[in-house]
Amino acid sequence: MTRWTWLSYAYAAAVVFAIGYCLIDVPVQVSDSYGNLVQATGGTFGSVVASQFHARAFLRPFLWAHIRVVYDLSGGHYFEWFRGWHVGQVAVLVLLFLRLLRPRRLVDAAAVPIGLAALIGMHTFAGTVREAFPINAYMTILICCFLAADLALGAPRWWRDVAAAALFVFAVLSVESGLLVAVVLVAAFAAGARGVSSRGVAAIVALVAGYFLLRFVILDVGTPALSERSSGFGFSTREPDALIAMFGGSAIPFYAYNVLSSLLTVLLSEPRGGVWVATRDLVHGELSFMPLLNLTASALAMVTLAIHLWRRRGEWWGRRFDRGDQLLIVFAAVLVANSVISYAYTKDVILSPAGAFFGCALAVAVAGLLETTQTATARRLVAAGLLLVALSTTWGMRAVSAHVGLRRSAAATRNEWAIVDEWLEREHLVPSTALAAHLKRELHDQAITKHPARPALTASWVERLSDD
């Protein structure tokens, strides 16, 4: 540990405080959370988890176990426990982010603010904090993916193999994108990381095969059909009927579109959920501030990454990968795999693992660019300085936008609780048991009365920085 390491951790603590302060204000949601809580409490722990092995389309027993454990621990203080748990998860994620970057030199520490701004400010991250079910499964997967990378990039130890296998099983039975844990481990191994041994990686590959066997042959869980969800295509979101009409004959072009959209959204912040929002607004002459900011920040990041890759081309050609290179390779592998598993349905938050590793990759590239400034000519130094200040400013603003988004989510969620009875009637979810009615009353009181809304932000720039 050097003084730059300590400084980086101190800065990370400030980042966690800032995001935690906004996140702790978001009540447990009505939609996606209340119904799940009722279901998770409708039986014993064992019966709730066991029933999930026989669910249709989704296989997520450990997510339900996770919800039930926090519910039981809360002792009725749902708001504090579920949101406190969420803040704790963000703290762990940021801690792991720093462990991966391992900032020991000035250049590493100087890259940490941009890296963390990209982690928090990336549009794919928003869904991991603004939503909850009431445990955010995507946030859980981000932690699992970072933990997998941390295991793989460490010194070889037998227990890392065991931990990697356990981590994969937990992740993949929490939500489907847990499969990315295996991608992280295999990619890191391919890049020369030996924290998890060849036997450990082989075991992971066997577990992946076992997961598919369990899901599709033994349990016959299946996957969600094309007809279940609306999805973005071109300049708008299409309803399932429209999608079937467009692609009913062969869904392959639609799947290819989703994979390509997923790749591009991480790299360029466009399209969003399959919809080319910024392009559409530009065509209509209505491009607003946030899409422009997002595109600019992403374009600058791509330039920085390209410079770094060009500078490292010799080492890559000779397969002499350092830790930074290994992180870049893991990012590339997760980006491709994450995009492929989004083939049926693309949504920003599903790409959150790729988005999180993008933050790591950007920090590596920035540190690499800073290294070159020691010997750079005056002209190159000015160019690098301008690029870095623009990059840092745009990503810093995106990070502030993420906090604004949380503030708005907190207000919107509270307003949902204000008219919860109408919503439950409309959705045919009126509580039918005493426990469900009690839970609704408690959650309502905790959202409205015990933790009242914070004052609305009325400055005009707040509206401009909203990326909803």
Partner 1 sequence: MTNPRPSMVAVMAAALPAAIATLAVVVFAVFELFGHTLFSQGPDRNLAEAAAMGRLSEVVRLLAAGEDPNQIVTVRPHVISSSVTRVTALEASVWHRSVAQMALFDRAGSVTSPATRQHLMCLAADLRVDEIVHYYAAGQPPDCVPEQALTMIVARSQQPTGGAR
Which stretches of the chain bind partner 1, using CB under 8 A? 11, 14-15, 17-18, 21-22, 105-107, 109-114, 116-117, 322, 366, 369-371, 373-374, 376, 381, 384-386, 388-389, 391-393, 395-397, 399-400, 403, 411, 414-415, 417-419, 422, 447-449, 452-459, 461-462
CB of 16 to partner 1, least distance (A): 10
Q: Which is nearer to partner 1, 253 or 385 (CB)?
A: 385
Q: Which is nearer to partner 1, 44 or 377 (CB)?
A: 377
Query: What backbone phi and psi angles, to 5 degrees, belong to 66?
Result: -60, -45
CB of 114 to partner 1, least distance (A): 5
Q: Which is nearer to partner 1, 47 or 375 (CB)?
A: 375
- Dist CA 450 CA 250 (whole Å): 53
CB of 403 to partner 1, least distance (A): 5
CB of 316 to partner 1, least distance (A): 17
Positive or negative, the CA dihedral 403, 409, 410, 411 is positive
Please report, in angstroms and rounded to a whole number, the separation of the first and last CA atoms in the chain: 40
Alpha helices in 24-136 (DSSP H): 35-40, 45-52, 61-74, 78-101, 106-121, 123-130
107 within 8 A of 370, measured Cβ to Cβ:
yes
CB of 219 to partner 1, least distance (A): 42
CB of 324 to partner 1, least distance (A): 11
Instruction: Report the DSSP beta bridge partners of residue 236.
Output: 233
Residue with tokens 């029933």: 51
Instruction: Report the DSSP beta bridge partners of residue 237.
Output: 232
CB of 417 to partner 1, least distance (A): 6
Q: Which is nearer to partner 1, 117 or 290 (CB)?
A: 117
Residue partners of 112: CB distance under 8 A and separation at least 6: 8, 11, 12, 98, 101, 103, 363
Q: Which is nearer to partner 1, 116 or 163 (CB)?
A: 116
- Dist CA 251 CA 360 (whole Å): 34
Residue partners of 237: CB distance under 8 A and separation at least 6: 230, 231, 273, 274, 275
Burial of 424 (0-12, 13-18, 19+ CB in 10 A): middle
Q: Which is nearer to partner 1, 217 or 456 (CB)?
A: 456
Q: Which is nearer to partner 1, 171 or 300 (CB)?
A: 300
Q: At what angle do helices 252-268 and 289-311 cross, to 10 degrees?
A: 80
208 within 8 A of 183, measured Cβ to Cβ:
no
CB of 141 to partner 1, least distance (A): 25
CB of 419 to partner 1, least distance (A): 6
Q: Which is nearer to partner 1, 21 or 316 (CB)?
A: 21
Positive or negative, the CA dihedral 52, 54, 59, 62 is positive
CB of 356 to partner 1, least distance (A): 17
Instruction: Report the DSSP beta bridge partners of residue 238.
Output: 231
CB of 375 to partner 1, least distance (A): 9
- Dist CA 353 CA 187 (whole Å): 14
Q: Which is nearer to partner 1, 105 or 194 (CB)?
A: 105
Q: Which is nearer to partner 1, 201 or 388 (CB)?
A: 388
Report which residue type is found at 352.
S
- Dist CA 455 CA 152 (whole Å): 45
Q: Which is nearer to partner 1, 126 or 179 (CB)?
A: 126
- Dist CA 432 CA 394 (whole Å): 49
